[in-house]
């Protein structure tokens, strides 16, 4: 693999000194970009796009080319893993994901298996192809869904406002849910490690739905299986550390516990003050976040003010601290692409002053 020219993201995640705050955006390769929509049309469907290494590479690179972000993140979907388990994934336009065979009873739960890596080969091929195409310009982030978030979709059969079927299983048959979570955790370890083998230089675990859980249930059903995944991860590849990021949306109340899970960095959503988060976590982990994605619907001047405010809330990046600028959730498909340009420019021009103490 070609040597890495810009390793600011990796160093920030590892809390090493960097000259400025690196920036990338969750869902940066996506529908808000006209060039993405064009490729998506050529591919024919979301699944065709995600399953083609060539198309996936193309859209992964698009935001890098347009904005000069500090990291690429593989274009894919967290549901590739349950799809490979044979649950029959499809995407209905405007309705989100659907599983033809949701996992709701004892028999279907016990029948779940860690899918053979071969069935996910297209993901690892995409990782390698992106790495080659990036040619060392910026690092590539691989990712997976958290075991609990995957279970939400697997049990419910799709997305949901309240995940009643999932929660009924959780309260009535917790051991059944734990079995699903154990399979998901084992599958996620193999999946992320295969992405690392294929060239991913950092990995992220998206816990989109952990925030719907009661305190106590979160620790048991979301955090514990994430900890199991982290434990199994490859920590070094190509002669350098492979940092990881854990992000529970709505997990502001559990940041301290997440930071003790064994992760390198903690994703933070916009409901949390970044300064308060930093105080709670100390310098145990780097922080990633946390601008409200809807700030990008404001004027350039307002975006500038909000980006500066976020940098200021994290504050001076002193020795042992690390901040990766990001949104607090995936970018909205309705975002004006120019807004992202403003965001990146402001992070680039304003963040160096926060790094004087360490860089």
Minimal distance, residue 291 CB to a second copy, in Å: 8
Is residue 355 left, alpha or beta, with left meaning phi > 0 and alpha meaning psi from -120 to 50? alpha
**Helix 53-67 × helix 337-350 angle, to 10°:** 60
Q: How many residues does the chain have?
A: 359
CB of 247 to a second copy, least distance (A): 16
Given a contact cutoff of 8 angstroms between Cβ atoms, the answer to whether 50 and 75 are in contact is yes
Which residue number, 129 or 222, has a Cβ lying nearer to a second copy? 222
Residue of 153, 191, 218, 227 marked active site: 153
Q: C-beta of 86: minimal distance to a second copy in Å?
A: 28
Residue with smaller CB distance to a second copy, 3 or 172: 172
The residue among 168 and 318 lying less far from a second copy, judged by its C-beta, is 168
Least separation in angstroms between residue 289's CB and a second copy is: 11
**Is 153 among the residues known to form the active site?**
yes
199 vs 293 by CB, closer to a second copy: 293
What is the distance between the alpha carbons of residues 286 and 258, in angstroms, rounded to a whole number?
A: 12
Strand order across the beta sheet in which 265-267 lies: 72-73, 140-145, 202-207, 244-248, 265-267, 286-291, 323-327
Give dist(CA 201, CA 196) in Å, integer.
Answer: 6
* Closest residue by Cα to residue 165 from 175, 177, 179: 177
Question: In angstroms, how far is the first alpha carbon of the chain from the final one?
Answer: 28
Q: Which residues bind a second copy (CB under 8 A)?
A: 162, 164, 167-168, 170-172, 211-218, 250, 252-253, 270-273, 276, 292, 294-295, 297-299, 302, 306, 309, 328, 332, 334
Catalytic residue among 7, 77, 207, 269: 77
218 tagged catalytic = no
Cβ atoms within 10 Å, residue 235:
11
What is the smallest separation between the CB atom of 315 and a second copy, expressed in angstroms?
Answer: 15
Q: Of residues 31, 220, 240, 313, which has the active-site annotation?
A: 31
66 is catalytic: no
Contacts of 215 (CB under 8 A, 6+ apart): 253, 254
**Whole-number minimum distance, CB 270 to a second copy, in Å?**
4
Shortest separation between residue 296's beta carbon and a second copy, angstroms: 9
C-beta closer to a second copy: residue 72 or 347? 347
The DSSP H or E segment spanning 57 is: helix 53-67
Question: Between 2 and 253, whose beta carbon lies closer to a second copy?
Answer: 253
152 closest CA partner among 217, 56, 197, 237:
217
Question: Positive or negative CA dihedral for 31, 37, 39, 42?
Answer: positive
Known catalytic residue at 125 = no
Nearest residue (CB) to a second copy, 15 versus 167? 167
Of the residues 11, 15, 27, 227, only one is catalytic, namely 27
CA distance 343 to 32: 15
H-helix or E-strand containing 43? helix 34-43
| Radius of gyration for the chain, computed over Cα atoms and rounded to the nearest angstrom | 19
Half-sphere exposure of 244 (CA within 13 A, CB side): 30
171 catalytic per annotation:
no
Q: Which residues are catalytic?
A: 27, 31, 40, 77, 153
């Amino acid at each position: 693999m070609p040597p890495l020219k810009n390793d600011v993201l990796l160093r920030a995640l590892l809390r090493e000194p960097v000259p400025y705050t690196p920036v990338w955006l969750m869902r940066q390769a996506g529908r808000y970009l006209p060039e993405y929509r064009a490729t998506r049309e050529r591919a024919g469907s979301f699944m065709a796009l995600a399953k083609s290494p060539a198309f996936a590479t193309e859209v992964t690179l698009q935001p890098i080319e347009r904005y000069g972000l500090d990291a690429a993140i593989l274009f894919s979907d967290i549901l590739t893993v349950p799809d490979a388990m044979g649950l029959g994934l499809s995407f209905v336009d405007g309705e989100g994901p659907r599983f033809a065979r949701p996992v709701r009873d004892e028999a279907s739960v016990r029948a779940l298996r860690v899918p053979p890596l071969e069935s996910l080969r297209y993901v690892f091929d995409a990782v390698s192809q992106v790495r080659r195409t990036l040619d060392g310009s910026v690092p590539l982030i691989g990712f997976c869904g958290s075991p609990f978030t995957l279970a939400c979709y697997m049990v419910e059969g799709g997305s949901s406002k309240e995940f009643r079927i999932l929660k009924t299983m959780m309260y009535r048959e917790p051991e059944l849910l734990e079995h699903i979570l154990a399979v998901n955790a084992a599958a996620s370890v193999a999946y992320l490690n295969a992405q690392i083998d294929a060239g991913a230089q950092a990995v992220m675990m998206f816990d989109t739905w952990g925030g719907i859980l009661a305190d106590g249930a979160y620790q048991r059903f979301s955090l514990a299986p994430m900890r199991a995944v982290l434990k199994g991860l490859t920590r070094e590849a190509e002669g350098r550390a492979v940092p990881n990021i854990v992000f529970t949306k709505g997990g502001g109340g559990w940041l301290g516990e997440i930071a003790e899970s064994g992760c390198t960095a903690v994703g933070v959503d916009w409901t949390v003050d970044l300064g308060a988060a930093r105080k709670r976590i100390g310098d145990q982990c780097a922080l990633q976040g946390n601008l409200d994605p809807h700030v990008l619907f404001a004027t350039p001047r307002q975006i500038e003010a909000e980006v500066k405010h976020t940098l200021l809330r994290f504050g001076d990046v002193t020795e042992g601290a690390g901040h990766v600028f990001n949104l607090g959730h995936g970018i909205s498909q309705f975002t004006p692409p120019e807004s992202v340009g403003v965001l990146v420019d402001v992070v680039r021009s304003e963040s160096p002053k926060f790094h004087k103490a360490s860089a």
